Structure 1
Amino acid sequence: MDEPRVGEVRTGTVTEITRSHVSVAVDGMPGTVSRLEGSWRRPWGAVVEELAVGRRIAVGVTAVEPDLRLSLAAAEDPGLHAFLGSLRPGRRLSGRVAAIERFGVFVDLDEGPGHPAYPGVGFVTVPELSWRHFDDPADVVTVGDRVTGEFLQFDTWNGEARLSLRALLPDPLKAFAREHEVGRVLRGVVTKVVPFGVFVRVADGVEGLLPSADGCVGDRVAVVLRDVDLGRRRVLFSPGPTL
């Protein structure tokens, strides 16, 4: 049989059971199910009690390099695993905001099965919510909002479709780079003070570092544009004339 591939559900033989992991051989290849990939529905203790060395079990393949990593949770929901495995980067998925956490936003997708443990199969990490600065995900979306995001990847660990809302929005930094040449004097507001300088917002969604500068949040300052690095999404300023 072909070598295991990420996203597949395969059958293997249990070779070892410990408190931290279960070893499973899939077509002769040694693989590991970690405690975190045991089940979305049951505690680890209940999972391992049902297993025995030599038993044939279904496992989902979550990684093949550098080692074969397996998931019992994925095998519990093959329909979800198959749906997520069928998605390709760039596809647009829509749904309803189901829950907002400090680490991101769960989206209940219009298509595909539901998630057995989480509020939604779609998930948007904080950086992918918006190009613009915000302090709380709730500043960008609210529960119940209809959203559309671009599919980024299949999170095999959590059984999620990672989405980006900002990928479908205009990038303010690209527009800023087109319209502002290096050496231009700009006026802005200090948004953050750090040990190595201050960050200054000079346009909606565009902030940059003014190194070795003092100031307080809210101060209005003049700066000179030194560099815009689109790849690293970094803007660098030097001091401008005193306002």
Structure 2
Amino acid sequence: MTEPAPDPLDELRARLAAFPAGEVMTGTVAGFGERGDVLVRLDGDDPQAPTGRIARHLLSWAAFEHPSEMVAVGRRITAEVLGADEHKGEVTLSAKACEDEALYRHLLRNRPGDVVTGTVAAVHNFGVFVRLDGEPPHPAYPGTGFIRVPDLTWSRIDHPKDVVRPGQRVAGEVIGTDTHQGEVVISLKALQKDPWDALAPGVGDVTTGPVTKVLPFGVFVRVGEAAEGLVHVSDLGGQVVREGQELAVRILEIDRARRRIRLAPAS
């Protein structure tokens, strides 16, 4: 009996499975794509069918007009595997991730759950850069640590500068590392107590707290240590309130799953 011919897709899947995400691979530059991508013949590839591809923005931290300024055909190259696309038969790579060996080792040393310390290097509306203790110089950013805005605090804020300032010492928990951005993603909030765990008032209770935000649809009032609830504009009855004003409110509903509290004026 003649055995059925191997399924080319199964063969391709088996070949791509040899390149798991996060693995560091070596190969040879085979050419350049139309969009400035770099084609790589990974070690073990068919010489006539290179499967590695490095997108232009993942080639180097340095600025360049064309990738040929950074690498030449035939040059050996080291890159981290991002993933495999079985439809295209390609392995997506990042050479930038491995370009700075000291930075790469630093990123891999920081694991989720670790507590790290450092100094705030820059504060932007999209997040905060932190110069972590013992880090190597970053090729592009003011620090290897990065705090996303939602990871700064449990409280509602308008801008990260409401929480931290350049030069401030901070401690945070590592959420993960991003080798392609060269960042250790950390959270200050992870080391703070969740105010919802200590939320004492219940539905029907009357409490007093400061108005933290005035918006067209209502006002937010702090309930307990840091949790906030909304008084809808329709429940204010035309009452004018301002930020910082103490307001007596009655708790109408507590939705712990969605972290929402609905309030109404107590009087």
TM-score in terms of structure 1 length = 0.81
> SS in structure 1 opposite 2:113?
coil
Matched AA of 2:196:
L
Corresponding position of 2:71 = 51
Matched AA of 2:83:
V
Corresponding position of 1:11 = 26
Corresponding position of 1:201 = 222
CA contact (8 A) 1:132 1:204 kept: no
CA contact (8 A) 2:123 2:166 kept: yes
Per the TM alignment, residue 125 of structure 1 is displaced from its structure 2 partner at its CA by 1.1
Corresponding position of 1:235 = 260
Q: 1:111 aligns with which of 123, 131, 134?
A: 134
1:17-48 deviation line (CA, Å, top 9, x unaligned): 233533434454834322322221x2242433
RMSD of Structure 2 on Structure 1 (CA)? 2.9
- Structure 1, unmatched stretches of 5+, are none
Corresponding position of 2:251 = 224
Matched AA of 2:26:
T
| Cα distance change, pair 183–25 in 1 and its aligned pair in 2 (3 A) | farther
CA contact (8 A) 2:36 2:67 kept: no
> SS in structure 2 opposite 1:180?
coil
Corresponding position of 2:83 = 64
In the TM superposition, what are the counterparts of 1:12-91 in structure 2 within 5 Å? 12-15=27-30, 16-27=32-43, 28=45, 30-40=51-61, 42-53=62-73, 55-61=75-81, 63-64=82-83, 68-91=91-114
In the TM superposition, what are the counterparts of 1:107-146 in structure 2 within 5 Å? 107-146=130-169
Cα distance between partner residues in 1 of 2:74 and 2:154: 51
> SS in structure 1 opposite 2:51?
strand
Corresponding position of 1:98 = 121
Corresponding position: 1:185 with 2:201: no
Q: Which has the higher Rg, Structure 1 or Structure 2?
A: 2
Per the TM alignment, residue 96 of structure 1 is displaced from its structure 2 partner at its CA by 1.3
- Greater alpha carbon shift after TM alignment, 81-90 vs 145-154: 81-90
Cα distance between partner residues in 1 of 2:137 and 2:22: 17
Cα distance between partner residues in 2 of 1:221 and 1:72: 58
Matched AA of 2:67:
V
Per the TM alignment, residue 226 of structure 1 is displaced from its structure 2 partner at its CA by 0.8
Per the TM alignment, residue 136 of structure 1 is displaced from its structure 2 partner at its CA by 2.2
Per the TM alignment, residue 211 of structure 1 is displaced from its structure 2 partner at its CA by 4.4
Per the TM alignment, residue 95 of structure 1 is displaced from its structure 2 partner at its CA by 1.2
| Cα distance change, pair 238–148 in 1 and its aligned pair in 2 (3 A) | closer
| Cα distance change, pair 32–175 in 1 and its aligned pair in 2 (3 A) | farther
Tell me the matched-pair count: 236
Aligned sequence identity (%): 42
1:57-89 deviation line (CA, Å, top 9, x unaligned): 21123x226674322212211221122123221
Q: Which of the two has greater strand per residue?
A: 1
CA contact (8 A) 2:211 2:242 kept: yes
CA contact (8 A) 1:107 1:121 kept: yes
